[in-house]
Chains A and B, each alone.
Chain A
Amino acid sequence: MRFVDEYRDPAAARALVAHITALVGDGHYKFMEVCGGHTHTIYRHGIEHLLPTSVELVHGPGCPVCVIPMGRIDDAIAVAQASGVIFTSFGDMMRVPGSNGSLLGAQAQGADIRVVYSPLDALRVAVDNPERHIVFFAVGFETTAPSTAATVLRARQDGVMNFSVFSNHVTIVPPIKAILESPDLRLDGFIGPGHVSTVIGQRPYRFVPEEYGKPFVTAGFEPLDILQAIAMLLTQISEGRCCVENQYTRCVSEAGNPRALAFLKEVFELRPHFEWRGLGFIPESALKLRAEFAQWDAELRFEVPGVRVADPKACQCGEVLKGAIKPWECKVFGTACTPETPIGTCMVSSEGACAAYYNFGRLHREVAVNMGGPR
Chain B
Amino acid sequence: MCLGIPGEVVELLDSNRHLAKVDVAGVRRSINIDLLEDESVAPGDWVLIHVGFAMAKIDESEAQRTLEGLQLMGQAYTDEVRAVLESRIA
Contacts and interface: CB of A to CB of B under 8 A. Distances in A.
B2 A225 contact: no
A223 interface: yes
A350 B53 CA distance: 21
B55 A196 contact: no
A195 B4 CA distance: 7
Contacts, number: 146
A40 B59 CA distance: 25
Interface in B25-82: 32, 34-38, 48, 50-53, 55-56, 58-59, 62-63, 65-66, 68-70, 72-76, 79
Interface residues of A, number: 56
Contacts of B84: 117
Contacts of A6: 72
A35 B2 CA distance: 9
Given A90-B1, A259-B37, A250 B58 contact: yes
A220 B89 contact: no
Contacts of B69: 8, 220-225
Interface of A: 6-8, 35-37, 40-41, 44-45, 62-65, 90-92, 116-121, 124, 139-141, 143-144, 146-147, 150, 154, 193, 195-196, 198-199, 220-225, 250-253, 257-260, 263, 349-351
Across the A-B interface, give the 5 residue pairs with the lowest CB-CB distance, nearest first. A222-B69, A118-B52, A250-B62, A117-B87, A117-B83
30 contacts: A6-B72, A7-B72, A37-B2, A41-B72, A90-B51, A91-B83, A118-B52, A120-B89, A124-B90, A140-B1, A140-B51, A143-B4, A144-B51, A146-B55, A147-B50, A150-B53, A193-B2, A195-B48, A198-B4, A222-B68, A223-B69, A250-B58, A250-B63, A250-B65, A251-B4, A251-B48, A251-B56, A251-B62, A259-B34, A350-B75
